[in-house]
A and B are shown apart, each in its own frame.
Chain A
């Protein structure tokens, strides 16, 4: 459920950010993909960094 929530959040937010910040459809798509994987990657990285202290 946690991963689903995070993925859904990243998908929706990166879609809106791409539409709002970029004008060209190709740029929007590239930005959305980049932001989506950045959301997921950074969240997973921070999760693993916190793991030893849990």
Chain B
């Protein structure tokens, strides 16, 4: 223990002199145009209507099929295998808006279920009822992610 202070590293050492990431290494967002905005909106709308359809419109067929299988699989398992339920907003319980937002991520499927009045009945006597609810909530949230991913691909932020 000499008490001598270590000299500060020179400011031109590699840790300090690394250049910032070059613009070429960052994803390039396409310049805005009405066609691009239309394409992005169409991809998002399709992704909300049918899971995976946004990617299909953009020509990402394998991703589209995988997303469709995963999200529709979760929805089908949640509703039919585990017998969960879709939520509706109850004004007496304001917090019920959150599961509704999650379920509504299923978009067209949620609308179809609402139109057919199917899947909204609670069956708490079924042992897997809570699992079913979790599957339905997560399926909707995953579809939000898929729609945002389709948007990113449409505007060129992602390949």
Q: Which of B16-24, B29-37, B64-72, B91-99 contacts A (4 or more CB under 8 A)?
A: B64-72
Residues of B contacting A12 with CB < 8 Å? 70-71, 73-74, 138-139, 142
- A12-45, CB < 8 A from B: 12-13, 15-16, 19-20, 23, 25
| Cβ A19 vs Cβ B67 within 8 A | yes
B67 and A16 within 8 A (CB): yes
Segment 40-90 of B: residues with Cβ below 8 Å from A: 62-63, 66-67, 69-71, 73-74, 77, 82
Q: CB distance A20 to B82 under 8 Å? A: no
Residues of A in contact (CB 8 Å), total 13
**In contact, A20 and B128 (Cβ under 8 angstroms):** no
Task: Type the 1/0 row for B119-130, where 1 means its CB is closer than 8 Å to any CB of A.
Answer: 000000001100
A15/B66 in contact, CB under 8 A: yes
> Which residues on B sit within 8 Å (CB–CB) of A5?
77, 82, 128, 131, 135
Task: State the B residues within 8 Å of A (CB).
Answer: 62-63, 66-67, 69-71, 73-74, 77, 82, 127-128, 131, 134-135, 138-139, 142, 145-146, 148-149, 158-159
Given A1-B128, A23-B159, A13-B149 contact (CB < 8 Å): no
Give 9 A-B contacts (CB < 8 Å), ordered by A residue: A1-B127, A5-B77, A9-B135, A12-B142, A13-B70, A16-B71, A19-B66, A19-B149, A25-B62
Q: CB-nearest residue of chain A relative to B51?
A: A16
A15 closest partner in B (C-beta): B70
Identify the closest chain B residue to A18 (Cβ): B66
A13-B138 CB under 8 A given contacts A8-B77, A19-B149? yes
Inter-chain contact B146/A23, CB cutoff 8 Å: no
Residues A16 and B135 in contact, CB atoms below 8 Å apart: no
